[in-house]
Amino acid sequence: MGLEQKKKEYILVTGACGFIGYHLCKYLLNKSFEVIGIDNLSDYYDCILKEERLSLLKKFNKFVFYKIDLKEESLVREIFNIYKPHYVVNLAAQAGVRYSIDNPHAYVDSNIVGFINILEACRNYPVKHLLYASSSSVYGGNKKVPFSTNDNVDHPISFYAATKKANELMAHTYSHLYNIPTSGLRFFTVYGPWGRPDMAYFSFTKNIIEGKPIKIFNQGKMERDFTYIDDIIISIYRLLTVIPKNNPEWSEKRDSINTSFAPYKIYNIGNNNSVQLLKFIKILEEKIGRRAEKIFLDMQPGDIIKTYADISELEKVIGFKPKTNIEDGLGRFVDWYISYYNHNH
């Protein structure tokens, strides 16, 4: 399974210096693909981490990098014009649920304006497949678990989630009007080495190691479907060549709503397992070898109580399911964290 190595098949990855983007680029480059990376190196979190991910990618001779913002439509078009990428993986986004409550405009610029510029570029320079990051947050206030791509997702509880749902709707329109094959990837709490400092597992690790208290929301009564980064990357890689097709016979009465009459598809990419926050913290304490000082707080606006992915569809089409358990994954993260911050500081 995988892409055929024709001459110069370019894969464009936006958000290339982000957590998932960096790992995906590295994986593709190790398989000798030609990768074009785009990132605006936003300062939403520590830029040093992004710069260092970038310097590791620049060691590969098949990697080209452009520091541009996706909201600059002419620059996006220029890159498509030069390289005419065969595959596009759009991972650039303003991330974070809580930040979206204070800074909604940042999400419109990045997640809506940036994405329409990618869609327009794919329309003008046809691609074999556009894959884009959606999010488990689109499930919003849904009570039924596990979350299935066949569930209605019309009840977002954060503006971030609303922009991700909007991406799916925008992609569907372009799939229908211009026959662009699109696949939306609903990621469930991704974690691992080189991860995002704004994520709880990262800040918990930092604070436990430094002997500072950690804030636990909703009194710890939260569950997350934590998905290890390597499982995410293998899933994206295998999905590149699973290209959605038109289905003129499609009917919403009979068929799954994660497909369409257009060449459009939605997948959950999760671990298919929900872990309680307090259990998660206990594993972190064991891996670090220190107890955490805990401050219990109320639920934060925009947060979902529980996420849990139904990944039967993903497994069916790529013959793979994420399987890294939380103990192994957190162990690898803690090892990376300690070596990275000891070396660098």
Active site residue 107: no
Please give the mean pLDDT across all residues of the chain. Answer: 94
Cβ count near 14 (within 10 Å) = 28
Residue 116: Cβ-neighbour burial (10 angstroms; 0-12, 13-18, 19+): middle
Q: Given the residues 160, 174, 228, 264, select the one marked as catalytic.
A: 160
Whether 336 has a pLDDT exceeding 90, the answer reads yes
222 and 305 Cβ atoms separated by less than 8 Å? yes
216 and 199 Cβ atoms separated by less than 8 Å? no
Burial 309-318 (b: 16+ CB within 10 A, else e): bbbebbeeeb
Whether 175 has a pLDDT exceeding 80, the answer reads yes
Predicted structure pTM score: 0.95
- For the chain, how are helix, strand and coil distributed in percent, rounded to 5? 45, 15, 40
SS in 3 state form for 278-340?
Answer: HHHHHHHHHHHCCCCCEEECCCCCCCCCECCECCHHHHHHHCCCCCCCHHHHHHHHHHHHHHH
User: Among 98-102, 129-133, 247-251, 255-259, whose mean pLDDT is lowest?
Assistant: 98-102
Whether 248 has a pLDDT exceeding 60, the answer reads yes
What does the block give as tokens for 328?
């192994």
258 and 150 Cβ atoms separated by less than 8 Å? yes
What is the structure's pLDDT at 280?
95
Beta strands 87-90; 129-135: pairing state: parallel
Q: What percent of the chain has pLDDT over 90?
A: 88
What is the structure's pLDDT at 165?
97
Whether 1 has a pLDDT exceeding 50, the answer reads no
Beta strands 227-228; 214-216: pairing state: unpaired
Contacts of 4 (CB under 8 A, 6+ apart): none
Whether 2 has a pLDDT exceeding 70, the answer reads no
